[in-house]
Structure 1
Amino acid sequence: MSGPRPTLRSSRARVRGATIAAFVALAPLLPAAAVAVGTLKVDAALPYVCTLPSGQHPATVRITAAFPERAAVGEEIRPTDVTTTVELPAAAVADLTALKAATVRAETRLTVGVAQQEQRTEATWSGTAQPVGVPAEGPLVLTTTGDVPSLTADTAGELTLTARGFAFDLAPSTADGAATDPASLSVTCVPGQDAEGRTGLATVPVGADVPSGEPSTPPPSPTVPSPSASATGLPLPSLPAGRTAPARPGTADGPGNAAPKGPRVGSPADRGPTTADEDAPGTPPPRPDAPPCLTENPAANSMSAYITGYSNVRKLNGANLIPLTCTLIERSEPELEFREDGIHLVTKATGGFSTRGRKQTPPFKATLLTFGFAPTTATLVLEQTGPLTLYSDVLLAYPENISTVHVRVPLVLRVLDVRVNGTRLDVGPSCRTEKPLTSQDPDPAAHPGDHLVLRGDGKIVEGSDAVGYVLTGGGPLTGEVTIPAFKGCGAGGENLDRLLTASISGPGNYIKQIQGQTCTVLDAPDPMNPKCTEDGQPYVVPKPER
């Protein structure tokens, strides 16, 4: 067979599945959740200078976004409708035409400075785009979109956001769809000389003019969420006010028995899942304790699952437990692809972790011997800086179907607290890896940039239980990652970047995450074989494996 292979959609081939990537997300220094009484529109065109193989070139970066006009203390501020548009001049486009590139795909990363009074931190706004044609002459315009981290301010005062460094990765392809040589270009940009005074994006007042009906003093919201109970034995974190379980028939939120309107503290997730009577014969056991894992406004393809596992730090000859974490996934319809080796069922999905509304793991403690002799305890968080993507490929070869799944996600490792021999080492509020953790990608041309890659392999044998990792049933996902150098570590003028880099950073760090069975949120519950609780959370809670 030769030529392009047709891709067919099959309404019968609906694979219910979720995924998991290992770590995730983002807890910026100033957490937040917003009470919006109006919308603040941002449209900023900023001058940058970008370094390409041919040299430095001017570029215009346009940022558009929407913010709440104001927010209450301790409530989420979530930027929406965020787009990043990069206009490269003809001289820069020549670098792509020299590679005989016909199309190019872009991933962008904008560093945003966040400040409130004396507090400072940074967040990363990431975006991706579909491939666009490379013009024969003239400028090239690339527009990306993507999720950005929310913020929370735990004190009153103006919260300001400022554009800082900018970078993007380009994956060019030739007219016949092949990768160029090199297969990708990484471009870094700095604000131009005439950018001074023009890099401000938004200023959001916090703590003023709270709408009537809201409490004048909201309940305090900790900057760092509590670790999960299953990992530490500590109490489970409660849901933020206003988050409720999705409505389902026959529950307190279903028709005929409406729940009270407006924000409320506590939900079915806080009270634990509703399961069958554990004393009734033939019924499943109750679900173990687990953090809340609710999908807001679920769609037909919304899925969720828990993961947990271990990550090694090779330099320190130790392993860290990644606590039980909720993952929310939106998948596409499966497609049948006819290839030379047979028929493949392909499913794609995007998503991320959800810990108290943030895309991150719960904070976890690592206790290791630094330099082989100093007992060191650190509190860490893995933060997602771009979309989590999943690609599931099942070769339909009766009676044995072969499944391969790749999960990709850009993550930074943030250090919240360090103690050496019991003495606190002040690393400050902004200690993190200078770029995302990096794995060797099996398809770097299609997936440029720094990101973690986890792989799951399994077999689905007719008449037998599945073996290994299967999308809907879960199982082990493994990978290897390089931990980059650290930046922003230290307080009071003391720079600890080199100390943490020497202690932790480097290649060859093995990861093994265990995913539980997935919950397709809107499926009708099955009391005898539950995949979801009655309020739409994953029923199966996995245990970590080394």
Structure 2
Amino acid sequence: MLRRPRRRTALLACSATVLGTGLLAGPGAAVDDERTARGTLAYQCRAGDGEFGLDALVEASLPTTVPAGRAIRPESVRVRTTLDRADVAALFPEGAPALSSEAALDVRLTHQGEAARAHWQRLAAPATTLPAEGAVEFAHTGPVPSVTVGSAGEVRFEAGALTLAMTTADPTRETPAAPVDVRCEPAAGQDLVLGAVQVVGSSGPEQPGDGTTPGPQNPEDPANPGAGDGIDIAPVQPAAAAESCPTEIPTGEIDYSEALPPPDYAPPPQPGRSPSHGCTYALGYASVRKLNGAMIINDPQRKPAVVNVMVALQTQSVVRPDNYSRIDSLASFDLPDAESTFLTFGFQPVTARVSFENGPLSISTGSYRPAGQPKTDFAVIAFWQSLRLHDVEVNGTPLDVGPSCRTKKPFKVVVRGKSPDYVNVLTGGRLRGDVDIPEFSGCGTGGEDLDPLFTAAISGPGNHVELVQEKTCTATTPVWCPPAIPPLPATGPSTARAPGR
């Protein structure tokens, strides 16, 4: 049965007004000013034997005006698709607690009576947990080809066919299911124009003498010397992640023991279908409860280190009777030294440099909805860490603590976040936790034992850690490349405690 696509009449009318008044730039527009091209479109789709409708919001940043011969580069491209939950369920009859999607959009380009077709493909949407009811949305992003024309005139962008490749993000079987291909055509009777760019020569935009817009021209007409230059479509350049992130791949065992555990009958974790390598920044505060102070972790003012991450390395899921979905990622994080000054025992100013030795970071995010109960989202990062103290000064006088003044054993750092503060490793967010710092050993030289001093001043439970992680740059999220450095958390570590599981 054919479903009628949802027609958002008011939004379509608004989009048409925006296009008509702002994006079809005319004479006098500043060269290279950028505006957002936008189109809200209804599509008729087919997948297997089924037919249904979906809505798509297509957005891209385009220059209003460029000189002839300069590439037009659409930036910040986003194709947001909205499907009915029932239609998605019909595509995955065996159930799918989370889905990822990849989109390809045909874009028709016209200029001076010529036409060409650009393929905006490999636009990726992060894994999305399916709601129990309502609409399902995927936000596809990625780089797209640039366009170059050699003569003045308007280059118009029009939306065409749309293809989605939807995949279960948490396969429960040994052989992951093949992607479900959804092929869509624009519904009839719509304005498909996304936007336009005015190409100008050295003397500015060309204008017809009678003030009218020039109509289509025949490229083979010798009386039309400005036509026939062609529309050149350049391939997509490699994603910025290739240059932004470390080349080595994080290694180690994933520890998902701190995540919300699955039902007892759940199958073991499975390798992720499409893991991706990327990087991000994370920074924040770590407090020392006994000293009533805190130090900055990965100081944004001092060349902070990146978190090197493999996203969605493994998954574990159950569909019924309980609904459980977890995605595990693995990262490495070589922190730079931190500097801090404390008042030891409340009156002695002590300055020290702290070196961090971190094991692999295990990042687990997901949700659990036991049968007949509400859903619980979870996000946790866990790793083992050791601390080493050096370059210590007491009241301005150097104190030689030796090269091996460190925690006697590694301790586990666990920080947690909850939606909407932290949803997954791709979008990042805020995480909090408390750690128990072990006693110190190896401190002192020349027979002087300083272990009791540092153990008494630093070691113990209740040391709060607060981190903020920026969005992750990967080959499938190039709009987040290179990764940004986030600001330090607005709230100090003493004002917020770690959320429970």
- Structure with the bigger percentage of strand: 2
Fold conserved (TM > 0.5)? Answer: no
Q: Taking structure 1 as the reference length, what is the TM-score of the superposition? A: 0.39
Q: Which has the higher contact order (CA 8 A, sep 6+)?
A: 1
Q: Larger Cα Rg: Structure 1 or Structure 2? A: 2
